[in-house]
Homo-oligomer: A and B are copies of this chain.
Amino acid sequence: MPAEHAILGLLALDGDGAGDGLGYGYDLARHFGDGQPLAAVLRLEPGMLYHHLKKLDRVGWIAADGPAPETRPARQVYRLTPAGRSELARWLGEPVARTREIRLEFLVKLYFARRLDPARAARLLAEQRDRCRRLEGSLEGQLGRGDDGSSAGSTQDRAFLHLVLDLRLAQTRAAIAWLDRASSAAEP
């Protein structure tokens, strides 16, 4: 899920100002509110954030160091584990499968890829563009054949299916054009 990977990303970036993969709930929550850039794409209420932290701890991608002493109110500091770091890298290297996931999950990937490693961001954009291109070709094929997934159907049915495919194609093409703009904005 994008929310959990965003938490891994924030820890990798700079949990609390030291670049050491450390961070705690309240501090991470700040990135998901107000005028923060991530919040333009992904909202995360405190309740869900703490829920995700527990789950990430359970699967071993982050680890709790026990309640931090010397801090009042007591805060629970987490650190990114090697497993968490490699999971983040895997996720950042993988484009999203569906066009509708670009609006949320891909933008989150792009946000972290640009900050952690600009070369990786360029690769991610190129791979996402490839995938969208293939989807575009498949949709064009279906539209050309008047393909409804199986057989005929009424005229009205075929007109509706044409509208559905036409919309998907238009959204996919808009995404491809955007990916191109994003690539060329990053390079020069």
- Residues on A lying within 8 angstroms of B by beta carbon are 34-35, 37, 39-41, 100, 102-103, 107, 110-111, 114-115, 148-151, 153, 156-157, 159-161, 163-164, 166-168, 170-171, 173-175, 177-178, 181-182, 185
Interface centre among A151, A160, A163, A175, by most chain B C-beta atoms within 10 angstroms, is A163
Besides the known contacts A37-B148, A103-B168, A167-B178, 19 further A-B residue pairs in the complex with CB atoms under 8 A apart: A34-B149, A35-B148, A35-B153, A37-B161, A39-B149, A40-B164, A100-B103, A102-B167, A107-B164, A110-B160, A159-B185, A163-B178, A166-B181, A167-B175, A170-B174, A170-B175, A170-B177, A171-B171, A173-B174
Interface pairs (13), CB distance under 8 Å: A35-B153, A40-B148, A40-B164, A100-B100, A103-B167, A107-B163, A107-B164, A159-B185, A163-B178, A163-B182, A170-B174, A171-B175, A173-B174
Contacting pair A164 B35 (CB below 8 A): no
Q: A114-B156, A170-B178 are in contact. Are A163 and B149 (CB under 8 A)?
A: no
A183 to chain B: closest CB distance in Å? 11
Give Cα distance in the complex from A178 to B173, angstroms: 12
Q: A114-B156, A159-B185, A171-B174 are in contact. Are A40 and B149 (CB under 8 A)?
A: yes
User: Please, which residues of chain B bring their CB within 8 A of the CB of A168?
Assistant: 103
Contacting pair A111 B160 (CB below 8 A): yes
Contacting pair A37 B100 (CB below 8 A): no
User: Please, which residues of chain B bring their CB within 8 A of the CB of A157?
Assistant: 37
User: Please, which residues of chain B bring their CB within 8 A of the CB of A115?
Assistant: 156
User: Please, which residues of chain B bring their CB within 8 A of the CB of A171?
Assistant: 103, 171, 174-175
